[in-house]
Chains A and B, each alone.
Chain A
Amino acid sequence: MPREWYERLRATGAPGLVAFGAIVLVAASVLPGPLRLLVLPALLLAPGYAFMRLLGREVDWPSIATAVAVSIMIVVLLSLALYVSGIRLDRVSLGPALGSVTALLLAGSYSRELFADRRGYAQRSDRYDEGIVDERERTMSR
């Protein structure tokens, strides 16, 4: 079913592209000439999307403009951090740093979802258990 296919792709596509973007950023310094143009969309989208995903924000088409601005923010902050650390900025330092940060943010977003799912399951379990206890109490009280 096309709709189902589209929805499945939407659910997994964006994080997959972010992961691909992180890899492209890490490998930017060794990519051959024409392929390095792929780095531009990766640079301007992947870090921003990963950060927004970590914060639990909707990651969809309307978010592209925000994701680009957030990516710009991440590049600025990362460059500042490298400068303060005394690391010289160039493609050898910045590419892997950006790719690593993007991957970390993406991993963090999955961890957040896993934690939220487990907490939600625990809460539902507690409510279910309370419901069983209530049912038992009601049964026993008859």
Chain B
Amino acid sequence: MVEAELGRHPGDARTVPARVAGKGWLRGLRGDGAGSPPSASGARTELGAAALIAAGAALVIWAYSMAPTSAIKSYDPIFWSGMVLVYLTVAWRALSGRHAVLWLAFLGLFAVLPKFWMSPNGPIYFDETAHFALLRETISTGHLFQNTPLLPIGKFYPGMESVAAAIHWLTGLSSWQSALALIAVVHCLLPVQVYYIARALPVGERWAVVAALVYAANPSFIYEDVQFAYESVAILIMFTILRIYVETLAAERSGRPSWRESLSTSVLIATMCFACVVTHHLTSLTGVGLLLVSALTIGPMSGLLDRKGGWRRIFVRYSPPLMLAGCFALWVIFVAPGTWPYLFPHVSQPFNQILKLVGLGHGGSKPLRALFSHSVAPGYERVAAIAAPTLIALAVLFAGIRWLRKHRSQTLFLWSFTLASVYLITLPLTLIGEGAAGAHRTWAATFLGVGLLPVAVVTLFTLEERKPWLRRSAATLGVGGLVVLLVGNVAAGTPVDYRFPGPYKFGSDTRSVTAETRRYDDWVREHLGPDAGVVTDRNTALSLTATASSITPLQVPGLPVAEIWYNRRPPTPSLMFSLQYQGDDYLAVDTRDSQYHPTEAPLFVPGEPYEVPRRNITRLAHWPWLRLLYSSQHYRLYKIDFDRYYLWYPFHSRGE
């Protein structure tokens, strides 16, 4: 049952709610009248749980040790056995033990393990490689707003790099260890903040734990939000803003704080909003939406939109979303004007593709992506990937209808339904080529609403007052639902090669690095040094940036590097002048570019030709203005002689 909650604002130093006296919050569940008698939670029980978790971790590590040389059908079940064992053990201890918050924090920390085992020694994903390059530049120069061609927009959002650099400077940890430490700390606090957000809504302690557990099964929790990328840190800041906000509204329900208290809270929220904006653009935008939904749906409400609550209440309710929106607008206008052209295509292109789907658009290729195309995910993962959103949709549908018919006065669930509905609406965007990335970025926020669906279903259908066999069946279904969500969301949200190491795969961010690649990167680092400007394709750029600290420009408007690979004619003087001006003195080629076609990300730019003509690779050896520096089975590295090119080009501009 939903319980009455805080008697006063939890931040009020003058009073401590009776329910929260002393260690109540830390213990979590016991003694709050939630209904169930406390189970034995002595040292032996905790040790047993620790043993189960150790077994789960061992299974996960065993799966990762098998992955490089085995078929997915042999290690994937072991991986999921380990993950499910840990999740259910944490759920058991958090729901029936004494230290719910600590167990939730541990779950957040454990969720870092799979990604860590993918790449313990350095970055491996595209985004985290770019951010690690920014971190390295920040550390070496001592200045913020560094640039990397892999992620130009990252220059204007230096929040995460500033914190990781501070950890490196002050603790003496290496730059990668500092990055890992920051992400580990941030990620372990995510389910904790979800717990406290739910508690302040208000939701009973047990259901707050369930909300945190369900959130920990969201598509981004295990792989996306544990990478060293600005979103990972910004989410914690945004959740903290939301927690302070809902706790402030909770204080409004239980009393009338003074203007002084409201203003001090606003100062805290304002500074956090600014930090969120400086860290990540999309999380800030999502945060504006989240705070707006909260302002419009979370009580107490006096009159429409709380207009009868008084000026102080209106200020408390509506200032946070306005502050976050204002900070974001000011940052984009004065510091990061490139944000809007960066983000807008991620909105306009899916919108155009939707129009094409319904027959209102024109031109372009077929926009739909096939579900699990080119994927080797096992059948049970694909079934779970479809079952997970189906379960969520059914829960929203039935609980929503029940709420509309009988319990409309319980506005608590309106917040949950709204966010869960937004989550469901964004799901079809994953079928649209240009919509998948944007949809993914919103799930870390909208899945908060999905976390409250269990309490909504139980409360609205009064399941806790039903017969014991029905309650047990519902609990069992709930556990099964959590497992389906966990497996299905990860399967749908993260491709297999982002989850497990494996054999070489052309075009893969994580599986295109071989021993030959590492020797090549080491040679470049040793002979060209850091910050060497190397023109190359996306995958080679990734490894050179991560390992050799090279500067690898990617194709952008005004810098059409792809024409070196695709055009029949030699590169134009305008391109070469741009490369010379930027100091990109080297050209790196992977001969496999002409043998394979990437299935995930393009070599240079979306819409590029299907294949690189082989003659375009072999002709490089005959151009006198390219001097071969390094050659291996698949890699070639050339030094560009720009002066010789300008003399050569007028006589060879028509191609050969």
Contact = CB atoms under 8 A, between A and B. Distances in A.
Contacts of B193: 65-66, 69
B162 A62 contact: no
Nearest to A38: B171
A28 B173 CA distance: 12
Contact of B167 (A43, A52, A62, A65): A43
A77 interface: yes
A132 to B, nearest CB: 27
Interface in A9-32: 25, 28-29
B170 A25 contact: yes
Contacts of B189: 65, 68-69
Contacts of B386: none
Interface stretch (A89-97, A123-131, A134-142): A89-97
A89 B165 contact: yes
Scoring B11, B23, B264 by chain A CB atoms within 10 A of each residue's CB, the highest score goes to B11
B25 A61 contact: yes
Given A61-B26, A80-B162, A36 B275 contact: no
B170 A43 contact: yes
Contacts of B145: 83
B11 A58 contact: yes
Nearest to A33: B172
B274 interface: yes
B432 interface: no
A75 B171 contact: no
Interface residues on A, range: 35 or more
A33 B171 CA distance: 8
B328 interface: no
A60 to B, nearest CB: 8
B185 interface: yes
Interface string A48-65: 000110011111111001
Contacts of A37: 171
A70 interface: yes
A80 B181 CA distance: 22
B169 A94 contact: yes
A126 to B, nearest CB: 18
B240 A36 contact: no
A79 B164 CA distance: 11
B427 to A, nearest CB: 29
B166 A56 contact: no
A118 interface: no
Interface in B5-50: 10-13, 16, 20, 23, 25-26
B159 A76 contact: yes
Nearest to B267: A55
Contacts of B314: none
Contacts of B170: 25, 28-29, 36, 39-40, 43, 91, 94-95, 98
Contact of B144 (A39, A55, A83): A83
A-B pairs with lowest CB-CB distance, top 6: A69-B240, A79-B162, A73-B275, A91-B169, A88-B142, A57-B11
Interface of A: 25, 28-29, 33, 36-37, 39-40, 43-44, 51-52, 55-62, 65-66, 68-70, 72-73, 75-77, 79-80, 83, 88-91, 94-95, 98
Given A62-B10, A72-B233, A89-B169, 14 more contacts: A57-B264, A58-B11, A65-B196, A69-B189, A70-B268, A72-B237, A73-B237, A73-B275, A75-B163, A77-B275, A80-B158, A83-B144, A89-B165, A91-B170
10 contacts: A43-B170, A43-B171, A44-B185, A57-B13, A62-B196, A73-B237, A83-B145, A89-B142, A89-B144, A89-B169
